Chains A and B, each alone.
Chain A
Amino acid sequence: MFDYIEKNLLSAIADMSGIPETGAFNIRKNGGGVARSSTETVTIEPKTDKQGIDIKVKPFSKADNVHIPVIVTESGVSDRVYNDFYIGEGAEVRIVAGCGIHNDGNCDSRHEGIHRFFIGKNAKVTYVEKHYGDGEGTGARVLNPVTEVYMEEGAECEMETVQIKGVDSTARTSTAHLGKNAKLIITERLMTHGAQYARSDMVIELDGEDASAQIISRSVAKDTSEQIFYPRAVGNNRCRAHVQCDSIIMDSAKIRSIPEIAANHPDAQIVHEAAIGKINSDQLTKLCTLGLTPDEAEGVIIEGFLN
């Protein structure tokens, strides 16, 4: 069903080599669904009014992994998809998303995934999204994800987004609304190289009492690539939030990091920290004293930093 290139993309973004044996899944290729399966606890259905799917997780259920990877292998494909996740009260689920683009042609290939999460009371969601690009063509590989998260009382959500290689341009927009006692953790890991461009805008609204959010961004910018981070945490009630942006800058890259915090309530506690710096020469020297070459040492430091 999948050729070598497609299997390679699926493995890079979702740790899978073909159709999963268990769990619900939806695999999308070059702008159309190619395989889909629901389970007793998770139903996946196509939308009738536009491209995309509705994923519904039964209340109080514990679901296996849900895989919803997207791959683009034809040059010039422009794919926009609307996926809505409805996580029932008290349910627990792990969703593995991700998009891989292989572009051997001269036209730009583009995927825009617009994801909305409606997370019920006390439900727990883990969401992993990996972006990856390869191929020899001059056409750009473009990914512009939009994520909206709505969390009810006591809901927990852990989001991990990773973009390590091969995406020429990405603009990520994320928003979240947290209800009472809701807890959100976002970990963003990014490496850009060549002339790549990446921007991440985030607005986290802590609306409910005792909501908490932690945003961790780690990035490495190489060559002439450019990165912009603009995470904002807004405390509208008694709440806690911590925003942390940490970047390694190399070669002639550029990084802007603008963490913003706002309190609209006297009991909102919000902290931000941001740092941009080169790899510390002591770190390189230390690893060289263990027998690594300077290049190998740099690789180990970056791998650890983004891990």
Chain B
Amino acid sequence: MLELRNVSFSVGGKDGLDIIDDVSLTINDGEFLVVTGPNGGGKSTLARLIMGIEQPTGGQILLNGQDITALSVTERAKIGVGYAFQQPPRFKGLTVRRLLELAAGSTLPEDECCSYLTNVGLCSKDYLNREIDASLSGGEVKRIEIASLMARELKLAIFDEPEAGIDLWSFAMLVDTFKTLSRRRHDSVIIISHQERIMQLADNIAVIANGKLKSLGPKDEIFPNLMKELSADCGFRGGK
């Protein structure tokens, strides 16, 4: 269970800009939460705060009752928090297999590596020994990133726009992977997404806009009102 208590993150000192403004929410074990909202609203920052890549300027983060606010990225990873980057970095010389093994924390049999790659729509035998460098496309790197999180057993898995850059054909497979594999291997899952099909997998949906938690509730409650809620913010819509 992850709990955010009045988490804030601002930049630029006292009169600075609030990127995340007093967000409180709880994700229970077994819960699948989709975080959505307009670009620049603070979704990725919230994920980075949970992973420890950024330190909150206010509030507390608790995992299964333990205050993890002051823990480093490494320490959080070791107690079971994982994060798939929106734009994963590339590594000259690091093979896909090595990354999967680093993620799993041990050497992996070839067929296990292959199954993680197959689950994200990559033909494993072509990719296992390839380097994660500029020779891979954005969509390929992104899928390898997702596979590296699937190779871990986590208390909390966070995926930052996993669908970005992924072709339509692989997308359907990815949705299946989230539905089955992620639910099995990860206690709780947060997916930042704008895709309806991913939102349909959610137990709950959180809407983040302008750094604030605008709404949070069961999918069936939040989803039907989503378009209305977000479009109301723009004065150019509806001929205003």
Give chain A's interface residues, CB within 8 Å of chain B.
218, 246, 280, 282-283, 285-294, 300-301, 303-307
Chain A positions within 8 Å of B51 at CB level? 289
> Count of B residues near A, CB < 8 Å?
24
Determine if A291 and B89 form an interchain contact, defined as CB atoms under 8 angstroms apart. no
Determine if A305 and B77 form an interchain contact, defined as CB atoms under 8 angstroms apart. no
Give chain B's interface residues, CB within 8 Å of chain A.
51, 53, 72-74, 77-78, 82-83, 85, 88-89, 91-95, 98, 102-103, 105, 131, 148, 152
Given contacts A289-B82, A304-B95, 16 further A-B contacts (CB under 8 A): A282-B85, A282-B89, A286-B89, A288-B72, A288-B73, A288-B77, A289-B51, A289-B77, A290-B77, A290-B82, A290-B148, A292-B74, A292-B77, A301-B91, A304-B131, A305-B93
Determine if B94 and A301 form an interchain contact, defined as CB atoms under 8 angstroms apart. yes
Chain A positions within 8 Å of B74 at CB level? 288, 291-294
Determine if B88 and A291 form an interchain contact, defined as CB atoms under 8 angstroms apart. no
Determine if A300 and B94 form an interchain contact, defined as CB atoms under 8 angstroms apart. yes
Per the bound structure, the CA–CA distance linking A285 and B83 in Å amounts to 10
Chain A positions within 8 Å of B152 at CB level? 290
Per the bound structure, the CA–CA distance linking A293 and B51 in Å amounts to 14
Kindly provide the distance from the CB of B75 to the nearest chain A CB, expressed in whole angstroms: 9
Per the bound structure, the CA–CA distance linking A306 and B131 in Å amounts to 12
Known: A246-B92, A307-B93. A290 touches B98 (CB 8 A): no
Determine if A283 and B93 form an interchain contact, defined as CB atoms under 8 angstroms apart. no
Write the chain B residue with the least CB distance to A297: B74
Determine if A304 and B72 form an interchain contact, defined as CB atoms under 8 angstroms apart. no
Chain B positions within 8 Å of A283 at CB level? 89, 91
Determine if A291 and B91 form an interchain contact, defined as CB atoms under 8 angstroms apart. no
Chain A positions within 8 Å of B92 at CB level? 218, 246, 304-305
> In the complex, which of the residues B93, B95, B98, B103 has the most CB atoms of chain A within 10 Å of its own CB atom?
B93
The one of B73, B82, B91, B95 that contacts A285, using a Cβ cutoff of 8 Å: B73
Chain A positions within 8 Å of B91 at CB level? 283, 301, 304-305
Per the bound structure, the CA–CA distance linking A283 and B145 in Å amounts to 12
Kindly provide the distance from the CB of A281 to the nearest chain B CB, expressed in whole angstroms: 9
Determine if A289 and B73 form an interchain contact, defined as CB atoms under 8 angstroms apart. yes
Chain B positions within 8 Å of A280 at CB level? 89
The 10 closest A-B pairs by CB, nearest first: A304-B93, A304-B94, A291-B77, A282-B89, A288-B73, A283-B89, A305-B93, A307-B93, A288-B74, A291-B78
Write the chain B residue with the least CB distance to A283: B89
Per the bound structure, the CA–CA distance linking A282 and B87 in Å amounts to 10
A-B contact pairs, 23 of them (CB 8 A): A282-B85, A282-B89, A283-B89, A283-B91, A285-B73, A286-B85, A287-B102, A288-B77, A289-B51, A289-B82, A289-B83, A290-B77, A290-B103, A290-B105, A291-B74, A300-B98, A300-B102, A301-B94, A304-B91, A304-B94, A305-B91, A305-B92, A306-B93
Per the bound structure, the CA–CA distance linking A126 and B213 in Å amounts to 62
Chain B positions within 8 Å of A246 at CB level? 92
Determine if B102 and A292 form an interchain contact, defined as CB atoms under 8 angstroms apart. yes
Per the bound structure, the CA–CA distance linking A151 and B98 in Å amounts to 38
Chain A positions within 8 Å of B85 at CB level? 282, 286
Known: A290-B77, A292-B74, A304-B92. A285 touches B102 (CB 8 A): no
Chain B positions within 8 Å of A304 at CB level? 91-95, 98, 131
Per the bound structure, the CA–CA distance linking A290 and B77 in Å amounts to 6
